[in-house]
Chain A
């Protein structure tokens, strides 16, 4: 079994100011290309509503090419997550037992996607991992949107 992958993000903003006989441009660019050293990958698709759909790392419901279920023992073994939704949806992994501010400790993240735009975050390993972080919640956060089709790609070891 072998996994190879690439994660690329490339953003470029060009700001143009036109005045008489003069044009000023300012460019902001941010890019990264990453080859994760991951040995597991899973992609999960589904539909969510305003009530959270729960996805468990232990059994995300994905099988590898050999037909074996892909399992992550917890958020400690996930290196990164990419999330996309066709309307508007939010993916949350929270350490709900931590004190305020929420998500200050552990591996929490909260990414949102709309109109099929991918959101992506690293999930770096930290000492003192939180046992409760075994699941992620996916839900429609925006009041005007009550259902969304989503896909979630996660990679790790």
Chain B
């Protein structure tokens, strides 16, 4: 049984000082999601900026708490981080995410056939960690 939380927030305060007057404008975006059930895979490694690495969620070798190999046939959420930086895309499709400096990037996956992920370093080589989750 899987229970998960994914919390994301972005908050900016823009201020302008003019004489005795200071004006503020706040921009804020956040979500707090609870995921229940499904299957999850984490893959960690090193990639390069030429061929990169192809992650097939149906065959990563990742094992769950029971020691059983986990296989996904679709992907509903992707989170990725990399250092110094990586890009990720589905198959030969468009780049979907970029993560730099160990910061996390993530997206919902709503397109049909979102499955195999190719991870490439933005330059040279880069470490990466990829989490993929499939709903029940």
> Which residues of A are interface residues toward B (Cβ below 8 A)?
1-18, 24-26, 28, 30-32, 34, 38, 41-43, 64-66, 82, 84, 88, 90, 92, 94, 100-104, 108-114, 116-124, 126, 141-142, 151, 153, 155
Contacts and interface: CB of A to CB of B under 8 A. Distances in A.
A34 B9 CA distance: 10
Interface string B1-27: 111111111111111111000011101
Contact of A25 (B15, B65, B98): B65
Contacts, number: 212
Query: Chain A CB within 10 Å — which of B31, B64, B111, B122 has the most?
Result: B31
B15 A30 contact: no
A10 B99 CA distance: 14
6 contacts: A9-B105, A11-B79, A13-B133, A17-B1, A112-B107, A121-B97
Given A13-B4, A65-B23, A118-B30, A101 B93 contact: yes
Contacts of A155: 10, 12
B55 interface: no
A121 B105 contact: yes
B66 A120 contact: no
A118 B15 contact: no
A109 B106 CA distance: 11
Name the interface size band of chain B. 35 or more
A14 B2 contact: yes
B91 to A, nearest CB: 8
Contact of B108 (A13, A17, A117, A124): A117
Which 5 interchain pairs have the tightest Cβ spacing? A5-B12, A65-B23, A103-B94, A9-B104, A119-B107
Given A8-B8, A13-B133, A17-B65, A64 B94 contact: no
A7 B81 CA distance: 14
B13 A16 contact: no
B55 to A, nearest CB: 15
Contact of A32 (B2, B13, B104, B107): B104
Given A9-B8, A11-B4, A103-B89, A111 B107 contact: yes
B57 to A, nearest CB: 14
Contacts of B66: 17, 24
A153 to B, nearest CB: 5
A7 B103 contact: yes
Nearest to A34: B103
B131 interface: yes
Contacts of B3: 13-14, 16
